[in-house]
Amino acid sequence: MSTERKVVLTCAQPTGNLHIGNYLGAIRNWAELLDDYECYFGIVDMHAITVPYVPAELRRSSLDTLALYVACGLDPERCRLFLQSHVTGHTELAWILGCVTPLGQLERMTQFKDKARRQGERVNAGLLYYPVLMAADILLYNADLVPVGEDQKQHVELCRDIAHKFNNTYSETFRLPDVYVPSTGARIRSLQDPERKMSKSDDNTNGALYLLDEPRVLRKKIMSAVTDSGSEIVAREDKPGVTNLLTIWSAATGRPIAELEEACRGLSGYAPFKELVADAVVSLLEPIQLRYKALAEDKSRLESIIAQGAEAAQKRAWRTLSKVTRKTGFVERPRK
């Protein structure tokens, strides 16, 4: 019987600051997989250049994201944390996969359509190709499981289609990865526009609770969150603002939404409710912020985590890449 552990791969973009949606919908759940899976967690700096950005800020936020990964519980001794641009293979595999991916399927991706609509004429080809690079991130590690928030589910499904197409074209090579979306916290919405997801790239920074916001800022944003008409504190479709706050509170504390609704019965108005949500968010994020501060100042520790992660990730990536290039019909690279 094989004792090999199944492989988990997932990533986040280092654009801007990570927010509580990234934590509750993604990173926190990754930390629970460390004991049972061989885990690879990437920081996808190459995806981050598909939208306008400032190079110096990308460099800084890539390191910040790494420090936050560790502060959120991704122990580098028990998983591999790596920067996408440090591992040879992501873009090489993306090119090969792109050649078996129908163009129409990329044009139909919801996230591409949204971003393309917003960017108009300025939209670049990288944005269209983005899901192929994401498929390469996953398949390069031959991952069994990909934990993501709701918004990335479509991209993982496309990755399965691409893997299937490659296997059919060239013979069995890739496992078809399963997607795992958490039951609570998979879609945290903007505090200012609860019809939309909380997003790093939102122009209105009051809509997002960033992991590194000071407690007073977190409180202020929650107190000024958009709520709905009426005064009932219940999770219901016609009350997206209140539902979002209840979801955050529930995901932050592990208490079911029904129990929280019950606890709010008798409160007068939304203000005391928001204060309870703020208390829960501050207690959740304070320990993460303390751990982040200690690590962000320790440059040599960060450098050693990066080096160790890149080496382990590269080792697995080479294995897949050489198999794929052989199957694709490329002549074997000369050995040094």
* Site of interaction with ligand TYM (CB under 6 A): 10-13, 21-22, 25-26, 44, 47, 134, 137-138, 146, 148-149, 151-152, 155, 185-188, 197-198
Query: Cβ 108 to ligand TYM, closest distance in Å?
Result: 16
C-alpha to C-alpha distances, 289 to 67, 70, 218, 240, 293, nearest whole angstrom? 10, 11, 12, 29, 6
Query: In this structure, what are the phi and psi dihedrals at residue 82, rounded to the nearest 5 degrees?
Result: -145, 160
Q: How many residues in total does the chain contain?
A: 336
Which residue in 113, 153, 165, 197 is the catalytic one?
197
Contact call for residues 187 and 197 (beta carbons, < 8 A): yes
Query: Cβ 283 to ligand TYM, closest distance in Å?
Result: 20
The smaller minimum CB distance to ligand TYM, of residues 76 and 131, is found at 131
- What is the spatial distance between Cα 202 and Cα 194, in angstroms, rounded to a whole number? 13
Give the E-state strand segments of the chain in sequence order. Answer: 7-12, 38-43, 80-83, 145-147, 178-180
Secondary structure letter of residue 319 according to DSSP: H
Query: Cβ 6 to ligand TYM, closest distance in Å?
Result: 15
Q: How many CB atoms lie within 10 A of CB 65?
A: 25
Residue nearest to ligand TYM (CB): 25
Place of tokens 């960060």: 302
Which residue in 6, 115, 165, 327 is the catalytic one?
115
- What is the spatial distance between Cα 305 and Cα 1, in angstroms, rounded to a whole number? 33
Secondary structure letter of residue 27 according to DSSP: I
Query: Cβ 234 to ligand TYM, closest distance in Å?
Result: 21
The smaller minimum CB distance to ligand TYM, of residues 76 and 149, is found at 149
Secondary structure letter of residue 199 according to DSSP: -
The tokens describing 44, both together, are: 């996808």
Query: Cβ 141 to ligand TYM, closest distance in Å?
Result: 9
Query: Cβ 176 to ligand TYM, closest distance in Å?
Result: 14
The smaller minimum CB distance to ligand TYM, of residues 88 and 301, is found at 88
Q: Is 115 a catalytic residue?
A: yes
Quick check: helix, strand or coil at residue 311? helix
The smaller minimum CB distance to ligand TYM, of residues 164 and 326, is found at 164
The smaller minimum CB distance to ligand TYM, of residues 49 and 267, is found at 49
HSE-CB at 67 with a 13 A cutoff on CA atoms is 25
The smaller minimum CB distance to ligand TYM, of residues 68 and 306, is found at 68
The tokens describing 330, both together, are: 């490329």
Q: Which residues are tagged catalytic?
A: 115, 197, 200
